[in-house]
Structure 1
């Protein structure tokens, strides 16, 4: 038997409000509709649910049995509907985000303290990974990626300008091995390479020349799959790293890393926040986006 949800809702309203007319008023339908639907439910069940007199209406034994189960169930359904209606429309709830570690350190982390202070009822869950997250499959709300790696069916909001690239090494490494003066000189150095977690390929080291962009097939005895580890290995003097200059502001200022080949380096697309179109009005995401971008 298919559950007669519409007629069960009417039955529950009659039992709660004590009359067919009161149930009709509560549901904003005609009293004749209430009477018709109640008869249809009783016919389907093969039993009377109410004892009706000229002055009152009361539940039968079958009616009391049905209300014991249907009443709490409809309360739960009502709560579920209200929860669905309110979810994402208030400054509270959970916001699940995926981001590369470098994006977290470079752009998100400096803004988290003020966001959490402004919206203490929003729970942030951060998935830090350099892999290309499937935010729908992983039940996430949004993610951060470089602009060229975002699917066309996602909304993309720029959160940084194009990022300047950098090749860096520690002063100790340069003292022993010298500094490259041209990108091709990197072939004589130990270069710490980066392997994309999703694609599995080694990231190219790209440079700008008079004829446009080109890459150098660098080599070395160290490969990582996160930028923070590449930077850490470079700081230890184990080789040269290729990453984003803004990510290294503190290390360069402190002198623990030295930028190289600066006139030969260009920019990459910058970081974007991306999310499904259906989440454009989700309040926690909207507030987070506005807090990051100031718009």
Structure 2
């Protein structure tokens, strides 16, 4: 005997529960004649009748009653498993490789992603922390974080943070020893702590602005880093002036461990964006990522 088709059993269940071919056909969405023929073929393959029919109603035979009682809980289990698998399909999962600066990681991305990673253990993330400009497609990254002004036009960009600025800071001992600069050009007479952007091809020229007039100053000093936090540590021990993100030295400024200078020359920059190729946007893992990181104004 050929095994019954799964749909045959589902359709038999509908007829048996509703005691009507007309109602069962409407529930399933097929023609009544098609349903009647399918049940008849099922009975022929099994070798015994499952239903008794007359002009008014449909009733179960003893064999039909037994079959219904057997398949009903099993079909329910199958439906539950399929529903669970469908839900699992829509859960964020997979590996993401993200390139971003230490400042973006510590001040924005990590605080926002920690609860997401706890909620979705199937998500794995590899962070590449550096201040260089990376080609995420060529280097195999899924996404990157950059300031809005430096994102390629063919990328999808989602704002994840507010505008921010760099501030010039040094220890009180340094300024007591070397004096406080009044103008960005005065930095040329100071020991400054440089930042090197590897892929940009050189040292970062400190960007200032006042009354709408931009000014860039190429400073010099004893130390060069590619990490903002190392620059802060060097500034705190009196080794020079550092130009670093304001929000990551707020506590040191409040405690008096660092002193800010040239405040009125420090402009705001457009905030950070998460960017990625368009082909990624429909993946559940990217929806979870962008929803968590999106900037709430």
Q: Compute the TM-score of the two structures, normalised by the length of structure 2.
A: 0.66
Cα deviation for residue 244 of structure 1 reads: 1.5
Paired position in structure 2 for 1:130: 131
Structure 2 vs 1, CA of residues 219 and 122 (structure 1 numbering), >3 Å: closer, same or farther? same
Cα deviation for residue 204 of structure 1 reads: 1.3
2:118 is equivalent to residue 117 of structure 1: yes
Paired position in structure 2 for 1:282: 283
Counterpart CA distance in 1 for 2:111 and 2:263 is 26
Q: Deviations over 1:148-169 (max 9, x none)?
A: 2211111111111221221111
Cα deviation for residue 277 of structure 1 reads: 0.5
SS in 2 for 1:90: coil
Kindly tell me the number of residue pairs found equivalent between the two proteins.
219
Which segment is superposed worse, 218-227 or 93-102?
218-227
Counterpart CA distance in 2 for 1:141 and 1:241 is 32
Paired position in structure 2 for 1:196: 197
Q: How does 1:233-252 map to 2 (within 5 A)?
A: 233-252=234-253
Counterpart CA distance in 2 for 1:149 and 1:261 is 25
Give the gaps of 5 or more residues in structure 2. Answer: 6-85
SS in 1 for 2:138: coil
Paired position in structure 1 for 2:169: 168
SS in 2 for 1:195: strand
Q: How does 1:3-22 map to 2 (within 5 A)?
A: none
Counterpart CA distance in 2 for 1:292 and 1:142 is 12
Give the gaps of 5 or more residues in structure 1. Answer: 1-17, 23-84
Choose 1 or 2 for highest CA Rg.
Answer: 2
Task: Assess if the C-alpha contact under 8 Å between 1:89 and 1:281 holds in 2.
Answer: no
Cα deviation for residue 290 of structure 1 reads: 0.8
CA RMSD of aligned residues (A): 2.8
Structure 2 vs 1, CA of residues 88 and 226 (structure 1 numbering), >3 Å: closer, same or farther? farther
Task: Assess if the C-alpha contact under 8 Å between 2:195 and 2:226 holds in 1.
Answer: yes
Q: Compute the TM-score of the two structures, normalised by the length of structure 1.
A: 0.67
Q: Deviations over 1:104-163 (max 9, x none)?
A: 111122223322222222112211122222222232211101112211111111111221
Cα deviation for residue 240 of structure 1 reads: 0.4
Structure 2 vs 1, CA of residues 178 and 154 (structure 1 numbering), >3 Å: closer, same or farther? same
